[in-house]
Chains A and B, each alone.
Chain A
Amino acid sequence: MPEIATTASQAHAALVPQEEHLELPHFRIEPKRGWVSVNLKDLWQYRELLFFLAWRDVKVRYKQTALGAAWAVIQPLFTMLLFTLFFGRLAKVPSDGIPYPLFSYTALLPWQLFAYALTESSNSVVANERLITKVYFPRLIVPLASILAGLVDFAIAFVLVLGMMAWYHTVPTWAILTLPFFILFTIITALAVGLWLSALNVQYRDVRYTLTFIVQFWLIASPVAYSATLVPAKWRPFYGLNPMAGVIEGFRWALLGKTPAPGALLWVSVAVVALVLVGGFYYYRRMEKTFADLV
């Protein structure tokens, strides 16, 4: 039997023209030292896997829960109701002249997206351990896919804000055209931090336990239940060091058009995210070669 296989393959090899051999993609595996670049070409080739992993996360989540997609609305809705009661009605937190429910819900939208994306991406490498130890693909796909899955929840929750705007007779201004930018900015902020945490999580499982605390802490530090205008004007750009301040203020402005456009504060946030993101990419790429051995 082996003889037959040999002759068959030899015969075949003889028939195959030389050109076909030369077309074969060549790849070299060798130890990489020092800083490595983000391999965008590789990432692009695996874009379908990115989509499939995100699709899996969404599908499985909705299949396993009794309320399914309703969760995407329930969480921000109830948080909004609670905030409206305690901060809006009882504590009378100023809301820049916007009805408090709308004020807090427009902030909760990006916040939920961010919190979900951050949590999921930070746990993503550890959660996909089986994949990472058994098959090759660009490791960046893992946190990216978990973040993409959060967009579905976001889209569902977004429908509600349109209803609320109609209810409060809020007409969006031209600023709404910048909304896609702010959605992207939310995701990138989550990715920037998520890259660091997911890679750290592989080596130090402390990350997993700290994560809930980080998210809680960050929520209070961000202008979700209150307005960034509470911060004195001259200190406000520094508030932008918390990138979620830039995201949320921008979101409110883009969607409702009632608050002033976030100027310096937003640019500080963008700068911070850019720094964390670039660092995150390199840290992640540097650590990823050890993932399969450590996870």
Chain B
Amino acid sequence: MTALMTDVAIRCEALAKQYEIGERESYRALRDVITDAVSAPFRRLRAAARHSSVPNGSGEKPTIWALKDVSFEIKRGEVVGIIGRNGAGKSTLLKILSRITEPTLGSVDIWGRVGSLLEVGTGFHPELTGRDNIFLNGAILGMKKAEIARKLDEIIAFAEVEKFIDTPVKRYSSGMYVRLAFAVAAHMETEILLVDEVLAVGDAQFQKKCFDKFRQISSGGRAIVFVSHNMAALRTACQSGIVLDRGGVVATGEINAVADQYLAAVSNNRGTESIETETFIVEDVSISSREGPVIKTFDSVEIRVRVFAKTEVQNPGMFVSILTLDNERIAALAFNDFSNIKGLQAGESCELGFRIERFPLLAGEYQMEIDLTDLDHYKVELVNKNYAFEVVESPVYRSRKINRWFGVIGLQAQAFGGPVGTNSSLETSFPGEFPVITES
């Protein structure tokens, strides 16, 4: 049996986790329990009188399966990304793997010690010095005191906080704090590392340093499980991916294939439920690239909206706005500025759309807000739902990773330059197109 399993680091079998809805927010007061205890017998009696069957215990508590029948295998030396929407069960899975919470059903077999990084700086105490916190945090992450002492200098150097190591961390800048916390975690020597979204913090340069450290760890035969919303980060860091949806595994395999499949599925799902406004019913909304299954910066992109008219519409049209997830408006288009189509009878459907060449948004998540209009009747009706979409990849500015520091719009530019006074500074001495490099 062992001979076959030597390469396996983690094996999940039919894992499931059930939560009571609202459980996390509300703890019960003793009063409720006493009231329950007093009223339960009566409820039982009444129920018995009516149905001659006794309801089970505390009655019908709404429950939800955060994970359902999840099975997969992760090998040593593998870096695996867990992909999925919010609420798909990614965090729950990580919590079970790191033994913070127990599964309701199923099992996980783990070969090797597990280090989990669900939060940067768990247990850091602001009053303690950087040095003290390294030891405390290290111990919390499961490192031995001797091990921490041995790596202390390396950790301090990695975090670049040499000067402040004996200062209480409450005086640290947030960057220093994160660097120190991450440095401790990056020096864990466990065979398995679980990482949740923590790479979203810190500056770009430090992120790269951490990525390199992780690569170094994985090439030492360790397994790393990553959870992130950042597809580009997952594509560079991982070799394979596991896609979760509504608590179940929907795909596993090579990271790029799985990520494309996930993103395509997500965009297919968008807007299939019908939303009604006063005059219209929205039947379908989609935004897609004409160049592939996912949207990339500078792709040719199409937005399509299919609507059904409940009553007669003389001049159908729409406004489409693109917003960030923070509801900041980036751009808006009005259909009637471009064209008019013929009116609709009650019960008729039509399709409206925009085609945008060289779509400029950088990688990230965005949303569309749609208003349906009949300008001849002075009608502007907001569709009561925003449609989320994601731009997956952006051309990389040379080797750097795109993050929010770059803003949301990609500019197509040319660079030029030369020594001042030679009159060449205005000439394009090394004309450079915007380097469109997509990672392969």
A-side residues, CB < 8 A to B, are 1-2, 5-6, 8-10, 12-13, 16, 18, 21-22, 24-32, 46, 48-49, 52-53, 56, 59-60, 63-64, 130-137, 202-206, 289, 292-294
Contact = CB atoms under 8 A, between A and B. Distances in A.
Contacts of A21: 6-7, 76, 111
Contact of A13 (B7, B29, B106): B7
B24 interface: yes
A2 B238 contact: yes
Contact of B105 (A9, A31, A203): A31
A26 B110 contact: yes
B99 A48 contact: no
A108 B139 CA distance: 34
Nearest to B215: A5
B219 A56 contact: no
B110 A49 contact: no
A293 B24 contact: yes
A267 to B, nearest CB: 33
Contacts of B98: 135-136
B119 A134 contact: yes
Contacts of B100: 132-136, 292
Interface residues of B, number: 64
B30 interface: yes
Main secondary structure of the interface of A (DSSP, over half): helix
Contacts of B24: 293-294
Nearest to B238: A2
A60 B101 contact: no
Given A31-B102, A131-B122, A24 B112 contact: yes
Contacts of A18: 6
B219 A134 contact: no
Contact of B116 (A56, A135, A292): A135
B78 to A, nearest CB: 8
B110 A27 contact: yes
Contacts of B357: none
A133 B92 CA distance: 11
B342 interface: no
B186 interface: no
Given A1-B236, A293-B23, 7 more contacts: A9-B78, A9-B219, A12-B219, A25-B112, A133-B100, A137-B142, A203-B27
Nearest to B211: A1
B125 A56 contact: yes
Interface in B79-133: 79, 95-114, 116, 118-119, 122-123, 125, 127-128, 132
Top 6 nearest A-B pairs (CB, nearest first) are A9-B77, A21-B6, A136-B99, A30-B107, A29-B108, A52-B139
B227 interface: no
Given A9-B219, A60-B127, A135-B140, A24 B77 contact: no
A135 to B, nearest CB: 5
A69 B350 CA distance: 79
A137 to B, nearest CB: 7
Interface of B: 2, 6-7, 19, 23-24, 27-31, 33, 76-79, 95-114, 116, 118-119, 122-123, 125, 127-128, 132, 135-136, 139-142, 144-145, 191, 215, 218-221, 236, 238-239, 255, 439
Given A22-B2, A292-B101, A204 B219 contact: no
Given A131-B140, A204-B27, A25 B113 contact: yes
A16 to B, nearest CB: 6
Contacts of A206: 29-31
A130 to B, nearest CB: 7
Contacts of A60: 125, 127-128
B123 A9 contact: no
A52 B28 CA distance: 32
Nearest to A1: B236
A9 B191 CA distance: 13
Q: Kindly name the residue among A49, A64, A132 whose own CB sees the greatest number of chain B CB atoms within 10 A.
A: A49
Contacts of A29: 96-97, 99, 102-103, 107-110
B238 A52 contact: no
A41 to B, nearest CB: 15
Contacts of A59: 127-128, 132
A294 B439 CA distance: 43
Nearest to B32: A204
A292 B23 CA distance: 11
22 contacts: A5-B219, A6-B239, A13-B76, A13-B221, A22-B2, A26-B110, A31-B105, A31-B106, A52-B140, A60-B128, A63-B128, A135-B118, A135-B140, A135-B141, A135-B142, A136-B99, A137-B140, A204-B27, A204-B29, A292-B101, A293-B19, A294-B27
A12 B78 CA distance: 12
Contacts of B236: 1-2
A107 to B, nearest CB: 32
Contacts of B97: 29
